[in-house]
Structure 1
Amino acid sequence: MLTVDFNRFPVRPGDRVLDLGCGGGRHAFELYRRGAAVVAFDRDEAELAGVAGMFAAMRAEGEAPEGARAEAVAGDALALPFPDGSFDRVVAAEILEHIPDDTRAMAELFRVLRPGGIAAVTVPSWLPERVCWALSEEYHTVEGGHIRIYTRAELEAKLKAAGFRIGPHHHAHALHAPYWWIKCAVGVDADEHPAARLYHRLLVWDIMKRPWLTRSAERLLNPLIGKSVVVYLRRPPAPPRRGADKAAEGAGLAHAAA
């Protein structure tokens, strides 16, 4: 289940892409299939082991094109172990709402993205998340859980302050919002509750079959109750070097004199 729209976030074979806070690897696997050189990054080493295992299985089955590369790296989002400008693209999906010092994480994201590169940042949408917090204290007080609710304006303002140029946005996964409302109402861990189990079956059926009815319903509902908001960003290109400008100007004058 992808949150990022790859029509708005183009990835070409050979692009260096960081999946920051990759979790189970859903975006990292898609990036690998598209031929990128992927780094799946997370602090959860146990989950990363599963991601690395899936990368190996994909290689064995020929699911990634020739030249694609993938690795899993453990570390801290506040101190990324990569040089400045290491990546052409960065995905940060459903991670910032977990990090107390989110502005520092945004600064690190900006630092490792090359000038002119593109990032996709997703967080839980304000309204569906507010309903979850109202229904369940456990939902947002569990260790490692969500510690803040963003409005899109707040998220974009923080990203702009980090240096990004703000691009388009959209919402995703409207059909998943009611599932989490049910879970919050009956108990976050009550997976076997009849209501939660029945709705989960509906979501699995929708993901597997993608029928036009539910796909159309989700497109209509996404702006209202989409579980996630996705913002696309660009790091501004580096300004031309003054020496290079002078050299180009001198070459131009010489050419004109000739």
Structure 2
Amino acid sequence: MLTVDFDRLGVGPGTKVIDVGAGAGRHSFEAYRRGADVIAFDQDVAELDNVATMFEAMAEAGEAPESARAQAVVGNALELPYEDGTFDVVIASEILEHVPEDDAAIAELVRVLKDGGKLAVTVPRWLPERICWALSDEYHANEGGHVRIYKASELRRKIASRGMKFTHTHHAHSLHSPFWWLKCAVGVEQSDHPAVTTYHRMLVWDMMQRPLLTRVAESALNPVIGKSVALYFDKPAVNVALV
């Protein structure tokens, strides 16, 4: 389940990509399939062990071009261990809402991006997230949980202030918003609640089968209740001096 539009980012053979806050690796795997040289970067060692194992399995199964390279790297998003302008594409999907020092994290995302490169950032959308917070403290008030709710305009200004040019936005995963509202209403840990398990089965069916009905429904609902908002930026080929 991808939140980022890889066609818009132009990811292909030889593209240098870093997926910051890679988690379980969904965006890293897509970049690898497309032939990119990708780094899945996260602080969660266990998650990255699984990502590294999947990279190896993909290579053995021929699911990625032989020329592509993939690596899982453990580290801190506030101190990316790479030189300025290392990557053609930087992805940060569903990470900034977890980071207290989000301005410092944004600065690092921009720093390691090449002039002329592309940045994609996604976060939970304001309205669906606000409903989750209203229904459940447990949803966000936990170790590593969400520390803020962004308005897209606020995040856009934060990133643009670093000299980045905003290019596009879209919403995604509207069918997932009601699922999380259900979980928050019955208790986030109550995964065996009948309403939650029934809706979860529908989501799995949708992701596996991708039927026309749910594709049309999600497309229509994304502008209204899309769970995530994605923002895209270009780094100017010639840096613009900040005032």
Q: TM-score, normalised by structure 1?
A: 0.92
Contact 1:103 / 1:162 at 8 angstroms: preserved in 2?
A: no
CA root-mean-square deviation: 1.0
Q: Is structure 2 residue 122 aligned with structure 1 residue 122?
A: yes
| 1:6 corresponding residue in structure 2 | 6
Contact 1:174 / 1:227 at 8 angstroms: preserved in 2?
A: yes
Contact 2:173 / 2:226 at 8 angstroms: preserved in 1?
A: yes
CA distance in 2 between partners of 1:229 and 1:9 (Å): 16
Residue correspondence of structure 1 range 126-141 to structure 2 within 5 A? 126-141=126-141
- Structure 2 residue identity aligned to 1:225: I
CA distance in 2 between partners of 1:163 and 1:183 (Å): 39
1:202-224 per-position Cα deviation (integer Å, ceiling 9, x unaligned):
00000011010000000000000
| 1:158 corresponding residue in structure 2 | 158
Contact 2:12 / 2:31 at 8 angstroms: preserved in 1?
A: no
| 2:96 corresponding residue in structure 1 | 96
Structure 1: gaps (5+ residues): 240-258
SS at match of 1:55: helix
SS at match of 1:159: helix
Structure with bigger gyration radius? 1
Identity %: 62
CA distance in 2 between partners of 1:139 and 1:162 (Å): 31
Aligned length: 240
Contact 2:174 / 2:222 at 8 angstroms: preserved in 1?
A: yes
CA distance in 1 between partners of 2:146 and 2:12 (Å): 33
The Cα of 1:8 is off from its aligned counterpart by 1.7
CA distance in 2 between partners of 1:111 and 1:199 (Å): 41
Structure 2: gaps (5+ residues): none
Q: TM-score, normalised by structure 2?
A: 0.97
Q: Is structure 2 residue 67 aligned with structure 1 residue 76?
A: no
| 2:17 corresponding residue in structure 1 | 17
The Cα of 1:66 is off from its aligned counterpart by 2.1
User: Higher helix fraction: Structure 1 or Structure 2?
Assistant: 1
User: Following TM superposition, where does structure 1 have runs of at least 4 consecutive aligned residues deviating by more than 3 angstroms?
Assistant: none
| 2:47 corresponding residue in structure 1 | 47
| 1:256 corresponding residue in structure 2 | none
SS at match of 2:119: strand
CA distance in 1 between partners of 2:166 and 2:18 (Å): 19
Contact 2:110 / 2:162 at 8 angstroms: preserved in 1?
A: yes
SS at match of 1:7: helix
Contact 2:87 / 2:114 at 8 angstroms: preserved in 1?
A: yes
Q: Is structure 2 residue 215 aligned with structure 1 residue 188?
A: no
CA distance in 2 between partners of 1:9 and 1:198 (Å): 35
